[in-house]
Amino acid sequence: MSERTLHEVFAELVPPGSRVLDLGCGDGAFLAYLRDARGCTGYGIELDDAKVHACTQRGVNVIQLNLEEGLSLFEDNSFDIVLQLDTLQHLRNTEAMLRETARVGRQGVVSFPNFAHWPHRVSVLRGRMPVSRTLPYQWYDTPNIRVATFADFEVLAHRNGLRVLSSFGLNTEGRGSEVVHRWPNLLAATAVFKFERG
Amino acid sequence: MSSIGVVTPQTLHFTEPLRLSSGAELRDYTLVYETYGQLNADRSNAVLVCHALNASHHVAGLHADAQGQPLPKSAGWWDNMIGPGKPLDTNQFFVICVNNPGSCFGSTGPMHTNPATGRIYGADFPVVTVEDWVNAQARVLDRLGIQQLAAVLGGSLGGMQALSWTLQHPDRVKHCVAVATAPKLSAQNIAFNEVARQAIITDPDFHGGHFYAHGVVPRRGLRVARMIGHITYLSDDVMEQKFGRELVGRGVLDAPRYSTQDLEFQVESYLRHQGDKFSDYFDANTYLLITRALDYFDPARLHGGDLAAALAKAVSKFLVISFTTDWRFSPARSREIVKALVDHRHDVSYAEIDAPHGHDAFLLDDARYHDVVRAYFGRIAQGLQADRLATRAAADVNFAT
């Protein structure tokens, strides 16, 4: 498996020319990549002032909103694809947000740190919460208020009537990312799901 | 930060009548405006700034006395936003602000002579709307030879004009920056305006709007109108912080004067001072006209109340900004605009600035707010640069073939 950048891996999940909503879009780098490399349009949602500023500098459409308040700004099916990359674990209303994602987008992509990655399992077996590159925080200062496994998300998706179109794990080393199809719940640090309403 | 320095207002006279929303006409009128920076060769870097209720065409820089010496306290009302190196950088953009007709800062208004009667307009000055102002501003641009604006920028009532530009002259605006504004007034907004108007109209010195002939000014009405307005510009927190329950000339814990009419609390002193200042320079009929223009603004009205349908014809890109503690035009009002734009897939960015100052925040220094505006105009400037290079490249290709 050849290594690709994270942007390349995720961009392959987004058909060219898609109308995209990126929840928790950060500095807008990925939206800018989708715009420049794949001719996509749309908006990013971000709460942090500095990141909203960074998006504006990049010329990416950004809307400053708290995702905990939902997506009432957007009508049903108004996007080809809604991205929730590395965002889900910071949300209190994870399940409601997943439903909102599926409501406003025809398809959704979610990525989050996989708590069941084997080094984490080893750490817990040793009696300590894991601290790793994907979960770099101590238990008492982590912004990740939801910790889930690859397998857990499959259950949540099913529970909400979502059909998983593709799923895989990701391991990132430096600038490269390796896609993990074999035993991702054990072997991948990051879980990735693409889904639509069932 | 450096200011643009001494600036001089300019004047244009128009004899072609301006047809107003009401059906009335301004037959003959003068508009005062200021410009800053240089218009570039392809006339593509013009930015129009629209002024709000009690402001004028004097947005940035200083005014000078007859000897050319800068006058103290003469800085424009948005001098922190506009100038060399400022968020709207006059080294890159040519900035224009027009004093709207009906105002009291030089453009034709109720204190001027009605050419139809030879008498001062007073209360007979026709009702002007946001749309009328936009059309008047467009005529100034025509005279200056500017077909398309790089951007239109405004806060509060100025933001309404900026929005209206994208609907009335969609092809003439590439970007719209609307700050601390609303797509229409709420009943509460109109109610505050009505209290202000009643204060003016019921002042015995108002004389039905023809007070000029009596040599008086309805100063008491103007004072109360300004006091009411001022309360709505500030947040509860800022008022509390600034004044609390502080007494005039006494400690907070001292016994009060037990008087119903004397000045007692600091906040009263502040409001009276603001009212006094305002009644020295503002015109009562102008206040009525401008608050009415606010009340009437409602671009969705002609589309069955559907704002998204109203905004569908806009082709510009948008930046919408609100402030968390602004209760006069709250973030929810700005989100209505954003939602309507999103519904029709317009390019829009929205910043909700967590500032303590209420509606006034749009005029104050706030790094997050100014950074976003600076970044947005920076992108516009980059776009102009890219357009210029593309035009030059195309010209080179033509030359080569």
What's the pLDDT tens digit per position in B241-297?
999 999 999 888 888 889 999 999 999 999 999 999 999 999 999 999 999 999 999
* Band of residue B390 on the pLDDT scale cut at 50, 70, 90: confident
* Band of residue B397 on the pLDDT scale cut at 50, 70, 90: confident
**A79 and chain B: CB distance < 8 Å anywhere?**
no
Q: How close B162 comes to chain A (CA, Å)?
A: 19
Beta carbons of B350 and A57 less than 8 Å apart = no
**A151: enclosing H helix or E strand:** helix A150-159
Strands B175-179 vs B317-323: parallel, antiparallel or unpaired: parallel
Query: Considering only CB atoms, which chain B residues are within 8 Å of A61?
Result: 347-349
What's the pLDDT tens digit per position in A52-67?
999 999 999 999 999 9
Beta carbons of B345 and A74 less than 8 Å apart = no
Give pLDDT, residue B400. Answer: 63
CB–CB contacts below 8 A, A to B? 52
Give pLDDT, residue B392. Answer: 81
- Amino acid sitting at position A135: L
In our burial notation (b when 16+ CB lie closer than 10 A, e otherwise), range A111-148 reads bbbbbbbeebeebeeeeeebeeebbeeeeeeeebebbb
Beta carbons of B349 and A55 less than 8 Å apart = yes
* Band of residue A1 on the pLDDT scale cut at 50, 70, 90: very low
- End-to-end CA, chain A: 31
What's the pLDDT tens digit per position in B112-147?
999 999 999 999 999 999 999 999 999 999 999 999
**A61 and chain B: CB distance < 8 Å anywhere?**
yes
- C-alpha span between B110 and B112 (Å, rounded): 5
Query: Considering only CB atoms, which chain B residues are within 8 Å of A43?
Result: 342, 348
Position B201 pLDDT exceeds 90: yes
**Average pLDDT of every residue of chain B:** 95
Give pLDDT, residue B2. Answer: 62
What's the pLDDT tens digit per position in B99-121?
999 999 999 999 999 999 999 99
Count each helix (H run) and each strand (E run) in chain B, helices first: 10, 12
What's the pLDDT tens digit per position in B313-353?
999 999 999 999 999 999 999 999 999 999 999 999 999 99
Give pLDDT, residue B335. Answer: 98
Beta carbons of A61 and B351 less than 8 Å apart = no
B344 is catalytic: no
Biggest CA pair distance of chain B: 90
* Band of residue A133 on the pLDDT scale cut at 50, 70, 90: confident
B214 is catalytic: no
**Average pLDDT of every residue of chain A:** 94
What's the pLDDT tens digit per position in B221-233?
999 999 999 999 9
